[in-house]
Amino acid sequence: MRNIALFVEDDAHEKIIGALVSKIAAEFGFSVKFDWRNTVGGHGKVIAELKVYVRDLERQGTPWPDLIVVATDANCKGLNERSRELGPPDAPAPLLLAIPDPHVERWLLLDGAAFKAVFGRGCQAPDRKCVRKLYKRKLIDEIHAAGGITLLGGIEYAEDIVQHMDINRAAQVDDSLQRFVEGLRSIFRGWRV
């Protein structure tokens, strides 16, 4: 059992990133246990809470998590700028950034076949545009067009969509997803040794 601390900025990140980590861990035959570190208040709060968390880990000593995943949207600032803002704190455990560009809801729309498996109707992978709440709205619209009902903005279906997702195909059309998936797989490969 591997212990993974996940810092996320909202419920959408929790559902989507958690499902992706679980699915990729299963590829490697790992069981994972999550220590959720949800923040409220967006990106700035993620940065502040992460610094406090790393400081507290260093003070407490072992046991440390096997991995720390930090998830925050790029919000049209780009992967590199967001990565610099988060900075690689001197964490006592490996740290991996999940920075959907521009927003995490877009990741659920990248694999039309997975969407079809859940809703009976596929969707087109959306273009990357920097419009606030565009992908939240697009996710809801696609679910409604398939005859589905959304109570939580569509995020309630995240785990089902990810379970049907061809992660490699989805990552080919989104650099931010590809960066996260490759980083996670690299860490998991290292655990096999």
Residue ranges covered by each domain of the chain? 2-192
User: How much is the pTM?
Assistant: 0.94
Q: How far is CA 56 from CA 7, 36, 37, 92, 94, in A?
A: 14, 15, 13, 10, 16
- Kindly state the percentage of the chain with pLDDT values over 70: 97
Query: Which among 10-14, 37-41, 45-49, 174-178 has the top mean pLDDT?
Result: 174-178
Query: Pick the residue with more confidence: 84 or 32?
Result: 32
Q: Render pLDDT for 42-93 as a digit per residue (tens, 0 to 9).
A: 777 888 888 888 888 888 888 899 999 999 999 888 888 888 887 766 888 8
Indicate whether 99 pLDDT > 90.
yes
* pLDDT, position 107: 97
